[in-house]
Structures are given as C-alpha cells and as structure tokens.
Amino acid sequence: MKLFFQHATVLDGTREMLPRPMTDVLVEDGRIAAVGALTPPPDAQVIDLAGKYLMPGLCNLHVHLPAGGRPGKQRDQKKLAQLVLHNPVVKRVAFSVCKAYAEDELFSGVTTVRAVGGLSDIDTTLRDRINRGAADGPRILAANMAIGPVGGHMVGTVAEAAQSEEEAVKMVRERVAQGVDLIKLMVTGGVLDATVRGEPGVLKMPPALIRACCDEAHKNGLPVAAHVQSAEGVRAAVENGVDTIEHGSVLDQSAIDALQNSGGAVICTLSPAFPMARFPRDLLGISETVQFNSDVVLRGMVEGAKQALEAGIPVGLGTDTGCPYTTHYNMWRELVFFRKYVGVSAAFALHTATLLNARLVGLGDETGSVEPGKSADFLITDGDPLQSFETIRTPYMVVMRGKPFLHPKAKRYAKTDAVLDDYMP
Ligand SMILES: [Zn+2]
C-alpha cells in the first residue's frame, strides 16, 4: 500500500521546524519511504496537499484515559473504579469509554499518548487492540494503574496504595506481567487532596517505597514516571530513581542537581492548572484553598519548566487529560500555555510536542518527525501551525501508521470549549 502526499508544506519536527514548501512524502506500508521533491509511483494513491501543512503527529505524554475532562461530570469516582476491578460488565463499559477518548486524541492530531494512570489493565489491553489494527487510536504507552502510598494522590481511582516495600514490589511485578511500558508513581499530593493552604505537593511516598518501585521497574527495563508537585518531591523522586517528573514545581538547586545527574526530564502539564487557578470558582465548584493551591502549582510548574530549560534539563509536554476542563482533543491549548507562560518560540513548542516528546519516552526512532524510516504519523492542517496553534484544533487530516483520516471529528463539549475560549491567555 503506497500513499503519496503531494505538495505539502512540511514542518519536520526538528528543533528549527523550518517549513519546507512544495514537499512530497511517500508512505509505504505505514512507513515514510521518502521525503522531498518526488515523482509519484504509478501504484500510489495520490493525496494532494497543496496549501496544507504536514507535521508529525503530536505526542501527549500525560493522559488518563478513563476521564473526559468535562467539568461537573465527576461522579463517585472511587466507587466506579472499584466496580471496574470487580465487575466484568462495568469493566467492558469503562473499556469502551477509554477507547472513545483515545480516538478523540487521535482525531485531534495526537498519534502517541502516554497513559499514566488508568483503571485495571485497560491501558495495556487497549494498546494491544490498537496495535493489532482492531481499533483506531494513537500509539499508547501504558502504565495501567499508578502506585501510591496509603492516602496518596488518586488512590482508590487510578492509583493503588502499597502498604510496604514488599507490596510495592509485588505491584510493580503485577504490572510487568500485564505488559506495561512504564510504571507510574504518586510521589506527592495534588491540588484536590491538599488540606493546607500553600501546600499542594506534600511529599507522601516514603523514599524507601519510591526506591523499591524504581529498582524493580528498572530491573525489568521499565522507566518510572512520578506525579510530583513540590521541590521536596522532585528531590525525593529523582534521588530514588524516578526518570520523569510529571507536572513539576519550582526547583531548588539540589533538585536541579539531582535531575542533571540522573538525566531525567520534567513533563509539564499546564492544561489542568490553568482553569483551576484562573477560572471563577463557581465554574469549578472548588474551595478557596484549592484555587489558591492551584495557583501555587501553576506558577511552580511554569517556573520549574523555565529553570529546567535553563539548566539543560529536557521539558516534555502532556495535558493531564481527565482533570476538569482538560479534554482529550485540546492538546493545541497546552502549546498555547507553554508558549505564553514558559516563553518558548512557536517552533520550539511544536518541536517539544513532537520529536522531543517522542525521544523522552524512547520513541525517537519510531515517530515524532517526518523522516524516512519512521512511522507515518502525521497531523495535516489548513493553516500554518507556526503562525497559530489554533489551526490544529480542526485538523484537515490525521495519519496514523499510514492510515489517513480526512476531516477527523473528535467528540467535543461545546460548553466546555466556550468557557476555555473565553479565558485563553
Ligand atoms: Zn496525571
């Protein structure tokens, strides 16, 4: 099967993201065979992209597949999560929900997601189904359920509590047996479970527990991602083996040193912090303390990302989809936040969301740029993404492993989008 994408302006995913006008891309059996000024092979299907922009599909490094991000839709999450574990019918329903959300990611131009906290073994099962070609969706790196301490962040929904080091190791092994791609830990608290004003990211996971999980994960060749929202948490995480700091915070010098020594990365997720910190509270139904703490987290994440970039520590991007006002089809907004708040160029933001993100999770040879040999994962837009990220909002076409989707439509929430549009920076 040969596809010939003709006359596109190609943004290749590299750091400069230099637009290459009137460029052709030949795809054979799902892989990029050639890029340049080419002659279409006689047996290729020609797709004319004159006036369109072709870039690598986006990598979203932080999603939770069970939740959609529509505010006010949080039912009794814990009860539901328990039912999924014990009731096969509920589990099948939850699977369909996750599958639909994964499709929304794809249809909004995201061709790779890293699922960092889900229900039961749904992330790995869905990943395998998509890989077999039995469902449409992005490439999934799956963590299944996160592991946390007793009383930890999201424990009882997308995380499971380990009482001891032995139990934590057992949980890592269970996930290894499920075939996960990474282990997710809940090292600090979060905005919604913080009780003290000004302390959203209290260290909750004992260092010995972090160490036990990381050692067992690394022994099995798996990286570890950790929810961390304070400098204290960053230090504890990195010093005990965590590879990627999810969300992040203001970094003190020892946290910076620890990250530099470990070669770790920070995965910035501004999409949920922005509405929580900036929207009127009645839209969110949160207390003054939660909003205050959300502001601490937002500022901390922005400052931490700037510090990391300055110190040569890589910063990746994810949306933390599932949080209120953070949907599965809005990664373009994360790019807007990253650009505005962290102060990077449009080209660097696009490079981060594609090739850099892919490299950070070991997929740099597989996806993230428009280069021969790589998977044909493309996001094709009517407008120039370097001029406006909003053109990504309604892709002209998304191509996943060589399969094109013309005018793909994610399921959208008009009200949620309208509020977000009103407040966008
Ligand atoms: Zn998360």
Query: What mean pLDDT do residues 108-125 have?
Result: 97
Distance 46 CA to ligand 1 centre (A): 41
Distance 75 CA to ligand 1 centre (A): 18
pLDDT at 346 over 80: yes
Q: What is the pLDDT, as a whole number, of residue 220?
A: 98
**Band of the pLDDT at 75, cuts 50, 70, 90?**
low
Distance CA 14, CA 376 (A): 16
Residue-wise pLDDT for 193-228, tens only, equals 777 888 788 999 999 999 999 999 999 999 999 999
Q: Dihedrals φ, ψ of 367, to 5°?
A: -150, 180
Looking at the chain, the whole-number percentage of residues with pLDDT higher than 70 is 99
pLDDT at 9 over 70: yes
Residue-wise pLDDT for 126-155, tens only, equals 999 999 999 999 999 999 999 999 999 999
Distance CA 239, CA 245 (A): 12
Distance CA 13, CA 102 (A): 23
Distance 250 CA to ligand 1 centre (A): 18
Exposed, middle or buried: residue 403 (CB in 10 Å: 0-12, 13-18, 19+)? middle
Q: What is the pLDDT, as a whole number, of residue 195?
A: 78
pLDDT at 272 over 80: yes
pLDDT at 380 over 90: yes
Q: What is the pLDDT, as a whole number, of residue 74?
A: 57
**Residue 43 vs residue 284, higher pLDDT:** 43
Distance 64 CA to ligand 1 centre (A): 6
Distance 61 CA to ligand 1 centre (A): 10
Residue type, 292: F
Distance 225 CA to ligand 1 centre (A): 10
Distance 278 CA to ligand 1 centre (A): 19
Distance 55 CA to ligand 1 centre (A): 27
Distance 19 CA to ligand 1 centre (A): 33
Distance 117 CA to ligand 1 centre (A): 7
Sheet holding 146-149, edge to edge: 159-162, 146-149, 183-186, 224-228, 244-247, 265-268, 315-317
Distance 323 CA to ligand 1 centre (A): 8
Distance 399 CA to ligand 1 centre (A): 27
The mean pLDDT of the chain is 95
Distance 283 CA to ligand 1 centre (A): 21
Distance 228 CA to ligand 1 centre (A): 10
Q: Which two tokens stand for residue 417?
A: 């989008």
Distance 320 CA to ligand 1 centre (A): 5
Exposed, middle or buried: residue 418 (CB in 10 Å: 0-12, 13-18, 19+)? exposed
Residue-wise pLDDT for 87-105, tens only, equals 999 999 999 999 999 999 9
**Spatial CB neighbours of 370, under 8 Å, sequence gap ≥ 6:** 10, 11, 12, 13, 25, 32, 35, 54, 55, 56, 378
* Claim: this prediction has a pTM higher than 0.85: yes
Q: What is the pLDDT, as a whole number, of residue 372?
A: 98
Q: What is the pLDDT, as a whole number, of residue 291?
A: 92
Distance 424 CA to ligand 1 centre (A): 21
**154, 190 Cβ separation under 8 angstroms:** yes
pLDDT at 310 over 90: yes
* Closest among 216, 210, 202 to 240, alpha carbons compared: 210
Q: What is the pLDDT, as a whole number, of residue 107?
A: 98
Distance 403 CA to ligand 1 centre (A): 29
Distance 272 CA to ligand 1 centre (A): 9
Distance 297 CA to ligand 1 centre (A): 13
Looking at the chain, the whole-number percentage of residues with pLDDT higher than 90 is 89
pLDDT at 73 over 60: no
Q: Which spans in 245-287 are helix H?
A: 253-262, 270-278, 281-284
Distance 158 CA to ligand 1 centre (A): 9
Distance 226 CA to ligand 1 centre (A): 9
Distance 153 CA to ligand 1 centre (A): 10
Rounding to the nearest 10 degrees, give the CA dihedral for residues 343, 348, 349, 352.
-130
Query: What mean pLDDT do residues 347-355 have?
Result: 98
**Domains parsed from the chain with CATH numbers:** 2-56+374-423 (2.30.40.10), 58-360 (3.20.20.140)
**187, 204 Cβ separation under 8 angstroms:** yes
Distance 268 CA to ligand 1 centre (A): 11
**Residue 414 — left, alpha, or beta (φ > 0 → left; ψ -120 to 50 → alpha)?**
alpha
